[in-house]
Amino acid sequence: MKPFPKLRPTAWDGLVVLCVAALAIVLALFQWRTGPSQGLTAVVSVDGTEVDRFSPEALREGPRTYTGGGYTLEVALSIDYEHPASSALPPSGQTGLCVAASDCPTQDCVHTGTITRSGQSIVCLPARIIVRLEGGEPDVEGVDAVLG
Amino acid sequence: MKLTTKQLTLCALLTAMALALSYLENLFPLSLAVPVPGVKLGLANIVTVFALYALGPGEALLILLARCFLGALFAGNMNALIFSLLGGLSALGTMALLSRRRGLSVYGVSTGGAAAHNCGQIAAAVWTLGSTAPLYYLPVLLAVSLLTGGLTGLASACLFQGLRSTNLMKG
Amino acid sequence: MKRFTAYVFLLALLLTGCGGPADPDTAQESIQVLAMDTAMLITTYGERSPAAAYACEDVIRGLEAKLSRTLADSEVSRLNAAGGEPMEIGWDAYSLLERAAAYSSSTGGAFDITVAPVVSAWGFTEDSFRVPSQAELDRLLPLVDSSQVSVTPSLDSNGDGPKAMVTLGPGQAIDLGGLAKGYAADNILEVLQEYDVPRANISLGGNVLAYGDRPDGTPWRVGIQDPARVGEQNAFAGVLALTDSFAVTSGGYQRYFEQDGKTYHHIIDPATGYPADSGLTSVTVVAGLGEGDGSGFPGTMCDAYSTALFIMGEERALAFWRDETMWGEEGCPFDLVLVTEDGRVVVTEGLADRFTLDEGSGYSLETVSRNGQ
């Protein structure tokens, strides 16, 4: 009932392989052109549970708010916000996140300032909220841990 | 679609094999290269390739659905269902189309299927995570699909070679 | 047949190529834990990295449940609420009380867990900051006295490990917060060894355990926060290159509040009852893994000494570093990075070639040796 399939690779197979490879290369080039920051993902967790995952660019549409432990945090792009530690603004062309406002008592999350690189995070202990940047290019020159 | 006893038995057998292959996939820590939860290699596509040729697209679809639902049930993870369904259906659809082309061998069909499988999985990741970040890993996964496609093609070719003399393929 | 063999060979090649045994350098697990009033980041490597990372979290949560001062039913909270009555405590609290007594005597009282009532008076325990009156401090300061804490090990433990009976003086309270994270690091070291973890990077809020080296074979890079640029990430006084080390930093910038234009930080001098004003802005203590079995408690020691030496100030801290006889019986060798208010970074000789000053910090670097300057 069925035609018996060809078992030896043919030139047409090569074409399929070339198509897939070409697609992979085109996509990779496209991503490379748009820069590594495209690969950065902000991951927000409340009390250990992931509640949101978005590209920092998505904040151009407006800040996002998260609630935990009775406190509310507003996460925004640093460039949209007049941060007290203005020297902490990211270098031009980079996307930086910060907690623009929080009603928590310690304000540590607001004081943390801007995060721009994979692996960095902003933590609000009273609200038990962690905003962490993931993905993107591994940071070779950066530090592995911070004392302080 | 009317199934003979022989075809039904073959379907059941293939479903069991597909489930075993899905389980085998867990031994390949793809998550090390592609940190997107839920994305898998798609070894069970060997069964889809075989079913497509030996039985037909309808039967292949039945086996695929049974494999996906049973697999998700066994794993107790309904989130994984979206991944395996989207991946498996894209692979099956692509392979059903490609297998109509007379010029293509099982290798070409499998490679196309593997690439479609990984695209489907990334689509599932984008959907469940609500983020376009997994797209970042698509080029890597497409490169991986060349390997898995070749592997599934090889496995299927060996399989058909071995079955050439039997009457299993004749209906 | 030849072709079949070739296929099998190719298949094996493909399988090992895309799967294969997990490379210990790439198998990695990173988890973030909110515990002990801080954010912790645990990164373990190796085939058993996920199990190891979660075992580390279990250790931290287990210790927090016993040692926290803010959880009402912890051993420490119940001891503080016991009102001077004897209380039974478990092995962890017992061994920490013993360590605390040793560090208290070796630092001449600069480290003291009984400073808790004074710290509470400043509101650092409940985040309700206030400046207590001198009269209030005068009333509380007599309670700051480790010698009033009596600890008796009870050997008739019924199978759950050694225990001890503790009695605090009337009105006294203890806070193991200055030791608990270091002790957790010591315990984590044992977990890492148990799980054959080849390398790990454990960051417990100001406490770092750099275990093994980085996957690329170079030492872990551990940045010391510049106390003068607190609002900035990646603003370091300098970077330490560490392998197999514990490192702990204490600084007045870590927790503070402002009132009437004055800044009050959380490191309270047990002698005065006021935030320590010693001319230092941060103290980093670095030690090796000791015997490697955690018996010397190098992590706990670093944690305690970083606080004590911050209170003691540059001169006394360096004298303490030079004089081995002051370290006590179980003291192990350590090195220091001191950041001073007048813009200097002082590094002891053991760290001289492992410390790189941050160009942008504007500090001047001084290295001190054991025998005089």
Helices C298-322 and C91-106, axial angle in degrees (round to 10): 10
Whole-angstrom distance, CA of residue C240 vs CA of residue A145: 10
Residues from chain A contacting residue C235 (CB–CB below 8 Å): 88
Mean of pLDDT over chain A: 77
- For C240, the enclosing helix (H) or strand (E) is strand C236-242
Tell me which chain C residue has its CA closest to the CA of residue A88.
C232
Kindly state whether C27 is in contact with chain B, defined as any CB-CB distance less than 8 angstroms: yes
Q: What pLDDT, in 10s, does the model give residues A50-75?
A: 888 888 878 877 889 999 888 999 99
Residue numbers of chain C with a pLDDT score lower than 70 = 1-27, 155-161, 231, 292-295, 372-373
Q: How far is B162 from chain A (nearest CA, A)?
A: 11
- Chain A residue numbers touching C210 (CB-CB < 8 A): 144-145
| C299 C-beta neighbours (distance < 10 Å), count | 31
Mutate to test the interface with A, among C233, C239, C245 (most CBs of A within 10 A): C233
Q: Which helix (H) or strand (E) holds A135?
A: strand A129-135
Residues 6+ apart with CB under 8 A from C208: A145, A147, C201, C202, C222, C242, C246, C247, C248
pLDDT exceeds 80 at position B58: yes
In chain C, which residue's Cα lies nearest the Cα of A84? C231
Ramachandran sector of residue C294 (left: φ over 0; alpha: ψ -120 to 50; beta: rest): left
Q: How far apart are CA C299 and CA C180, in angstroms?
A: 10
C37, A125 in Cβ contact below 8 A? Answer: yes
How does DSSP assign B18-73, residue by residue?
A: HHHHHHHHTTS-GGGT---TT----TTHHHHHHHHHHT-HHHHHHHHHHHHHHHHH
Neighbours of chain C (3+ CB pairs under 8 A): A, B
B29 interface with C at CB cutoff 8 Å: yes
Residues of chain B contacting A34 with CB distance shorter than 8 Å: none
Is A63 exposed, middle or buried, given 0-12, 13-18 or 19+ CB atoms closer than 10 A?
middle
* C319 vs A146, residue with greater confidence: C319
pLDDT attached to residue A85: 43
- Which of C223, C222, C219 lies closest to C234, judged by CA? C223
Is the Cβ pair C208, A147 closer than 8 Å?
A: yes
- The pLDDT, as a whole number, for residue C271 is 95
Would you call B150 and C18 a contact, using CB atoms and an 8 Å cutoff?
A: no
Enter the DSSP assignment of C98: H
Whether A124 contacts C187, CB under 8 Å = no
- The count of other CB atoms within 10 Å of the CB of residue A80 is 13
Above 0.85 for ipTM, yes or no? no
Residue B132's pLDDT is 64
pLDDT more than 70, % of chain B = 85
Q: Mutate one of B154, B159, B160 to test the C interface: name it (highest C CB count within 10 A).
A: B154
Give yes or no for residue A36 having a pLDDT over 50.
no
Cα–Cα distance measured from residue A75 to residue A99, given in angstroms and rounded to the nearest whole number: 4
- pLDDT reported for residue C318: 96
The residue type found at B166 is T
Chains near B with 3+ CB pairs less than 8 A apart are A, C
Q: Are strands C207-211 and C150-154 parallel, antiparallel or unpaired?
A: unpaired
Chains in contact with A, where contact requires at least 3 CB pairs less than 8 Å apart? B, C
**Pairwise pLDDT comparison (B164 vs C289), residue with the higher score:** C289
How far are the Cα atoms of C247, C310, C314, C346 from residue C340, in angstroms, in the given order? 18, 10, 8, 8
Determine, for residues B133 and A53 on separate chains, whether the beta-carbon distance falls below 8 Å.
Answer: yes
Phi-psi group of B27: left, alpha or beta (phi > 0 → left; psi -120 to 50 → alpha; rest → beta): alpha
Kindly identify which residue of chain A lies nearest to residue B34, measuring between CA atoms: A135
Contact B32 C22 (CB under 8 A): yes
Structure tokens at A116: 């721009």
Query: What's the CA gap between B29 and C22, in Å, rounded?
Result: 7
Chain B residue closest in CA terms to A8: B105
Mutate to test the interface with A, among B142, B156, B160 (most CBs of A within 10 A): B142
| Residue C21 DSSP symbol | S
* Interatomic CA distance for residues C179 and C111, integer angstroms: 10
Residues 6+ apart with CB under 8 A from A25: B139
Which residues from B are below 8 Å from A44, CB to CB?
Answer: none
For B150, the closest chain C residue by CA position comes to C14
Q: How far apart are CA A78 and CA A71, in angstroms?
A: 21
* CB contact set of A65 (below 8 Å; sequence gap of 6+): A72, A73, A74, A75
- Residue C351: closest CA among C300, C294, C287: C287
- Would residue C108 be called left, alpha or beta, if left means φ above 0 and alpha means ψ between -120 and 50 degrees? left
Q: Which residue of B has its CA nearest to C26?
A: B32
**Cα–Cα distance for residue pair C210/C234, rounded to 1 Å:** 18
Distance CA B81, CA B24 (A): 17
**Which residues make beta-bridge pairs with A77?**
A97
The residue length of chain C stands at: 373
The H-or-E segment that residue B128 falls in is: helix B106-129
User: CB of B142 within 8 Å of any CB in chain C?
Assistant: no
Chain C contact set for B158 (CB, 8 A): 4, 7
Give C271: exposed, middle or buried? Use CB within 10 Å, 0-12, 13-18, 19+.
middle
Residue pointed to by tokens 């009775």: A70
Chain A hits for B111, Cβ within 8 Å: 13, 16-17, 20
Work out the average pLDDT over B19-38: 71
Q: Check A146 against C203: CB less than 8 A apart.
A: yes
Nearest CA in chain C to A128: C34
Instruction: Please give the residue of chain A at the shortest CA–CA distance from B128.
Output: A53
- Per the CB < 8 A criterion, the answer to whether C48 and C24 are in contact is no
CA A92/CA C339 separation, integer angstroms:
31
Q: Which residues does A46 contact at the CB level (< 8 Å), separation at least 6?
A: A66, A67, A68, A127, A128, A129
Token couple for C70: 């803010």
pLDDT score at C120? 93
Angle subtended by helix axes B138-163 and A11-34, to nearest 10:
160
User: Given an 8 Å threshold on Cβ–Cβ distance, is C7 in contact with B158?
Assistant: yes
Residue that wins the pLDDT comparison between C224 and A110? C224
Q: Which residues of B touch A4 (CB under 8 A)?
A: 53, 160, 164, 169
pLDDT on residue A33: 64
Specify the amino acid at residue C203: S
Confidence of residue B38 (pLDDT cuts 50, 70, 90): low
Model pLDDT, residue C359? 86
A 43-102 residues inside an 8 A Cβ radius of B: 53-55
In chain A, which residues touch C (CB < 8 A)?
Answer: 45, 47-48, 84-85, 87-88, 105-106, 111-117, 120-121, 123, 125-126, 128, 130, 132, 142-148
For residues A40 and C98, give the distance between their C-alpha atoms in angstroms, rounded to a whole number: 47
Whether residue A142 and residue C221 make contact (CB cut-off 8 A), yes or no, is: yes
Do the chains contact at C14 and B158, CB–CB below 8 Å? Answer: no
Of the candidates B160, B165, B125, B156, the one whose C-alpha atom is nearest the C-alpha of residue B141 is: B125
The DSSP letter of residue C168 is P
- Reduce the DSSP state of residue C63 to 3 states and report it: helix
- Least Cα distance to C29 among C144, C199, C187, C175 occurs for C199
Give how far B145 is from chain C: nearest CA, Å: 10
Q: Is B169 on the interface with A (CB under 8 A)?
A: yes
Which residues of chain B have a CB within 8 Å of the CB of A13? 104-105, 107-108, 111
Nearest to A147 by CA among C101, C224, B76, B48: C224
Q: How far is B33 from chain C (nearest CA, A)?
A: 9
pTM of the model: 0.64
The CB density around residue A12, as the number of other CB atoms within 10 Å, is 18
Number of H-type helices and E-type strands within chain B: 6, 0
